[in-house]
Amino acid sequence: MSTMVDERLRRLRSELDDHSRIADRLGLDLERPLRSLNDGYPENAVALVGKLTEKLLKELWRHHDVEGDPSTKALNDLVKRCRPYIRSSTVLDALDDIRRLRNRSTHDGYDISDEDGLLAVRRLVDVLVWFTDTGSAALLGGEPDVAPEVARRCEFLAGLYVTLGYRQAKRFVLSPDTVYQLFCRESGMRLEYVELMLSRDADDLSTVLASRGGELLRTQLPKFTRFVVLDDDGDVGSGALHQILGLDFRVVRYDGFVDTIVNLDTHLAGLTSDDNPAEPQAAVAAAALTVDTRTGESKMEQSGDAAELVTRLACGSANVLVTGRPGSGKSTLLRSLAVNPEVRRFRFYFDLGLKPKDEPFSEYAARLLAPAMMSDRSRAYDLFLYLIRSGTALCVLDAVDEGVDEPSAAGFLRLFTDLAAVLSAESAVVMSSRVSFLADSPQVRQLLDSGAGRSEQLVEQMYTNGLDPSRVPHFHVVRLAEPEATPLEKRLTAALHLPAGKPLADILGTHITRTLAEQGKPDLEQRLPAAFGHAFLTDRTVFSLLDIHRQVGADAFKDGRLDLDACALAPLLRPAGADHVAFVHTAYQELLAARFLAEPENRNQAADLPGGAFLTEQVRAFLAGMPRAPETDDCVLPAGAYLVGPAERLLIRRVERPARFDRHAVTVARYRRFLNALNADGTSRWDHPEQPAGVTHRPWTDRLRRADYYENPRYDAHPAVCVSWWSAFAFAAFEGKRLPTSLEWEAAARGSDGRLFPWGDAPDSTRINCADTWVGRPVVTYQAWYRDFAGDAVRRAGATRIDERPGNRSPFGVVDMVGNCWEWTSTSLDDPGEAVICGGSYDNPMRAVQTSSKGIYRKRGGSNAVGFRCVQDLNTSETEETTA
C-alpha cells in the first residue's frame, strides 16, 4: 500500500474517532473497514461500509417511526425510505455514493480498487459528521439533561451552520433550558468562529451565566460572530445578563434567527400587486380533484374559494398543483400564498417561466436567492434545501408548464428530475400549470399521484430519466373554474374600456396596439411576431434590452437610452433580472407566436427549427381563432407545414407532396366491387408484398354487428368495417391509390390552423357520431362512460351513413374525419405488425374524437369501429378533380 494511501487511512481513522458516541451507542466497529483496506481488501471495506450504513439507517428509520420493519430491508430500500427525514444534501449524496459502490461490488462484478474503498469510508464519515455536529438525537440518542424542545432547536441551528460549512467545536449543556455551542470553519488561511447560546428565556440564561461568573465567554480564540437565541427575549436590556454579555453578543429570538443568515423578505419583494397592494383579490372558484386509482380519471373532492382551498392544503403540509387556463389567476394566487406569513415559517417563490431552459434549477434558485443572503452567497441553494427539508417551508413553483424543455410527459419527467431534491422534501410544494397540460396527459396525472395507477412504462421512463418514483410525492390538484372571463381578461377589459365578452386574443391585441400608439410607435407592431413570436418557438421568453434593440430596432427606445423606462414596449414587459425583461404575461408572446405561424412561409421555417418548435396549447388556440384562409372543397391537402399532435405534444411537421383525399370513408358499396375482384382464396393481385399467409380480404363476418352488412343495400353508404390493414392497403391499390400517413390524415383533418375538430375548436355534438351522441349529454369521465354508454347505449350505437353529418367537414372538404369510425393509416411505429388509426369512433366520448386522436391497432385486426379512406398523390401543378 502506498504512502499516500497510508496517510489517508490515518486521517480517516482520526476523523472516525470523533464519532465514538454514535459507535458506542449503536455498537458499530468503525475500524473494520480501515483494517480491510490496510490488509489489501478494498471490496471488503466497501461491503463493511454498506453494513454500517444499513445499521445507521435502521436506527434513523426507528427514530422517525417510519412505517414498516427496517430489520429486513436492504440498503437501497433503507435509503429510499429514510430520504425524507435527512436534511443534509451532503448526507444524501454520500448515501447515494455508498449505495452505488456497494451495488458495484456486490451485483455488478466491478473491480473494487483502494480508491473505491477510501471513498466509501470518506462518505461514511460525511454521514457521521452531520449527525455528530448537529447533536442529532436520531443516532446519538437523547440527552436527559436537555429539554426535548431545546435539543430539537439546537439541532436545527447546528444544522444551519453545518450546511454553511462549519464544524461543531464545542457543545456544553449549561442547564435543561440553556445550551452553548461553538462552530468553526476554515476561510482561506484563517478560522472563522460562531458562538451561540440557546435558552428558553433571559432569566434562565442570566442565572446560568452568573453562576459561572461568565467564565465560559472568556476565550482567547479570534473574534466571534456571537448570538444569544431566546424563545422569550424578556428584558435583556439591563441587569445581570446585559453585564455578562456585554456588547459583543446579538440577542435574537429563535423564530427570527434564520433572518440573520438569509432575508426572505428580500427574496419575496415585488410579489405583491403593483396595481393596489391593499386591494383584496377577487374570489376565484376552484375544485380540488382526486385521481381514481383504477382509471386515472379526475373527480371533484371539494370546492370553494381557490385562495382558501390552496392555503388550507399548504398549511396542512399537502403538495398542490394549481391548474387553470391562461389569465385565470394562477400566478396571482401563488404570489399571495408566498407572501402570506401565516402559511409557513419559510417561504420561497420561483417563476419557472423565467428560468432559462439550459440552466439547472439549482443554479437558477441560487441566483435568485443569493441577493437575500447576508453572506455565504455560494451556499444559497444548500441553505434553501436545508430549510425545505426542515418540514417548515413552502416552495412555490409558478408556471411549471413553462419550465419544461418540451410540453410532454417526457419533458415533465426531466423537469421533475431537476426538481427531485425539492419534491422529495417534507415541506409543502405548490405548483401551477395550465389546465390542458394536465388534463390532456394521463401520464402527467399518474406522475403527480404518488404511484396510484402508474403504468410500468411510466415507472421505466422515470428510472431512465434518473428519477426515483418514490421521490415524487402526491399532489392535490386544484383546478380554477373557467368563468366567462378570467381575472386577466376582466382586468384588461376594464383598463382598455372594451366591451365584455371579447376573446383573449382580441384583448391582448388591442393592448399591444394601443400601447404602441400611445408611445408614438404604431409601426413596431408588425415587427413583433418575427422578433418575439419566433423567439417563443425557440423557447426564449427572457430578453435583454440589447436583444430588443437588435431585433425590434433602435426606434423602440427613446433618446437612444437602453433602459426599460425608455422602451416603447415597457407597459407590456416586466423585469426578469439585471437588464433583462419578459412579457407581463406569457399569453402576449404566445399571441405573437400564433401571428408568426399564421404565415405559411413562417410555418415552414418553424418546421426546420432544430429539435422542433416549442408550442403550447394557447399558441394553437390563438392560431385557430385567427381569420382563416378560404376553405377549399377539392379534398386536396397541399404540401406545406402543419401543426399536429395532442395538446401536451404539439409539433410542426411538413407534408412534402400534395395528395387528394377521398371525400368520404370507403363505403360498403365501394368495397363490394373489390370483393368481386378477389381470388378464390380471398387474396388479390394488389396485396402488400409482406402480407402474411392466410390473410383474406373478405370482411370478418363473425365480428360484424349486423350479419348482412355487406349484402344488404341499406348499408351501401355505410363505412366498410371489420377489414384488416392488409385489406385496406390492397383496396387502395385496387383503386390506384394508397392509405394516408398519420401525418397527412391529421393535417387534412385540422387544416393549417391546428383546430381541435374539423369545423373548428368548439365541440358540437350535432356534427359527430360519438358516445355523447348516443347518451344524449357530454360524457366527461370514464365512470360516466361506463355508466351511461356501456349499458343500453352501446347496444344501440354503431357506425352510420358517411353522408349523415355534412357539418363534420375539414377545411379541405373532407367529410366525417372524426367520430363514426377510426381510420387506418399507413404509419407503423415500433411494431411493424401494428398501424396507427386516427379520428376516434362512435363508442368514444367527444373528448377522445378530435383531429389529434390516434390509436394503435394490430394490422390483422378487424373491428366494427375501424374503417379507412384512401388518398391519391398529385403533382404540384395538378388541379383537376377526380371523383372519390
> Does pLDDT of 743 surpass 90?
yes
Nine-digit cell string for 520: 408614438
User: pLDDT above 70 covers what percent of the chain?
Assistant: 88
Sign of CA pseudo-dihedral 490, 496, 497, 500? negative
> Spelled out in words, what is the top-level CATH class assigned to the domain 266-480?
alpha beta
Cα separation values, 506 from 513, 519, 598, 625, 762, Å: 10, 20, 16, 10, 18
The predicted structure's pLDDT at residue 276: 40
Residues 6+ apart with CB under 8 A from 810: 748, 749, 750, 751, 758, 817
Query: Cα separation of 33 and 484, whole Å?
Result: 69
Q: Using DSSP bridges, classify how beta strands 822-824 and 834-838 pair: parallel, antiparallel or unpaired.
A: antiparallel
Q: What is the mean pLDDT of residues 587-611?
A: 95
The predicted structure's pLDDT at residue 277: 43
The predicted structure's pLDDT at residue 600: 93
Most confident region among 261-275, 636-650, 780-794 by mean pLDDT = 636-650
The predicted structure's pLDDT at residue 868: 98
Q: 837 with 816: CB under 8 angstroms?
A: no
Q: What is the pLDDT of residues 330-342, one digit of tens each?
A: 998 999 999 998 8
pLDDT interval class at 279 (50, 70, 90): very low
| Residue spans of alpha helices (H) in 134-283 | 137-140, 148-163, 202-211, 239-245, 264-268
DSSP reduced 3-state for 497: coil
Q: 118 with 97: CB under 8 angstroms?
A: no
The predicted structure's pLDDT at residue 238: 42
Q: Using DSSP bridges, classify how beta strands 573-575 and 580-583 pair: parallel, antiparallel or unpaired.
A: antiparallel
Q: What is the pLDDT of residues 201-248, one digit of tens each?
A: 878 877 777 776 556 666 667 777 888 888 765 554 444 555 666 667
Q: What is the mean pLDDT of residues 256-269?
A: 92
Q: What is the pLDDT of residues 367-391, one digit of tens each?
A: 999 999 998 899 999 999 999 988 8
How many beta carbons lie within 10 A of that of residue 161, not counting itself? 21
Sheet order of strands, 834-838 included: 854-858, 834-838, 822-824, 866-867
Cα separation values, 393 from 51, 297, 466, Å: 34, 31, 26
How many beta carbons lie within 10 A of that of residue 640, not counting itself? 16
The predicted structure's pLDDT at residue 288: 81
Domain ranges of the chain: 3-140, 148-261, 266-480, 487-622, 659-873
DSSP reduced 3-state for 454: coil
Strands (E), 658-729: 659-661
Q: What is the mean pLDDT of residues 468-479?
A: 77
| Residue spans of alpha helices (H) in 373-441 | 380-389, 400-403, 409-418, 420-423, 435-439
The predicted structure's pLDDT at residue 881: 46
User: pLDDT above 90 covers what percent of the chain?
Assistant: 54
Sign of CA pseudo-dihedral 141, 147, 148, 149? negative
DSSP reduced 3-state for 324: strand
Nine-digit cell string for 618: 394557447
pLDDT interval class at 280 (50, 70, 90): very low
Q: Find, among 857, 868, 833, 829, the residue nearest to 695 by Cα.
A: 833
Q: What is the mean pLDDT of residues 140-146?
A: 85
> Does pLDDT of 728 surpass 60?
yes
179 forms beta bridges with: 173, 198
Per-residue three-class SS string for 267-283: HHCCCCCCCCCCCCCCC
The predicted structure's pLDDT at residue 236: 47
Tracing cell 366498410 back to the chain, one arrives at: 720
Query: Cα separation of 257 and 229, whole Å?
Result: 7
Q: What is the pLDDT of residues 112-129, one digit of tens each?
A: 888 999 999 999 999 999
Q: Is the pTM of this model over 0.85?
A: no
Q: What is the mean pLDDT of residues 185-205?
A: 85
Q: Tally helices (H) and strands (E) across the chain.
A: 36, 24
Tracing cell 387528394 back to the chain, one arrives at: 660
Q: What is the pLDDT of residues 747-770, one digit of tens each?
A: 999 999 999 999 999 999 899 999
Cα separation values, 725 from 672, 678, 705, Å: 17, 16, 19
Query: Cα separation of 632 and 882, whole Å?
Result: 15
Nine-digit cell string for 105: 461490488
CATH number of 659-873: 3.90.1580.10
The end-to-end CA distance of the chain, in Å, is 85
347 forms beta bridges with: 394
Q: What is the mean pLDDT of residues 13-19?
A: 89
> Does pLDDT of 782 surpass 70?
no
Q: What is the pLDDT of residues 840-859, one digit of tens each?
A: 999 988 888 999 999 999 99
Do 3-140 and 659-873 fold alike per CATH? no
Give me the chain's average pLDDT, please.
Answer: 87
Q: What is the mean pLDDT of residues 187-199?
A: 87
> Does pLDDT of 39 surpass 80?
yes
Q: What is the pLDDT of residues 160-175, one digit of tens each?
A: 999 999 999 989 888 8
Nine-digit cell string for 328: 385565470
Architecture of domain 3-140: Up-down Bundle (1.20)
Q: 671 with 724: CB under 8 angstroms?
A: no
Residues 6+ apart with CB under 8 A from 291: 297, 298, 299, 445, 446, 448, 449, 452, 453, 477
Considering only residues 485 and 5, tell me which one the structure prediction assigns the higher pLDDT: 485
Q: 801 with 713: CB under 8 angstroms?
A: no
With 0-12 / 13-18 / 19 or more C-beta atoms within 10 angstroms meaning exposed / middle / buried, residue 465 is middle
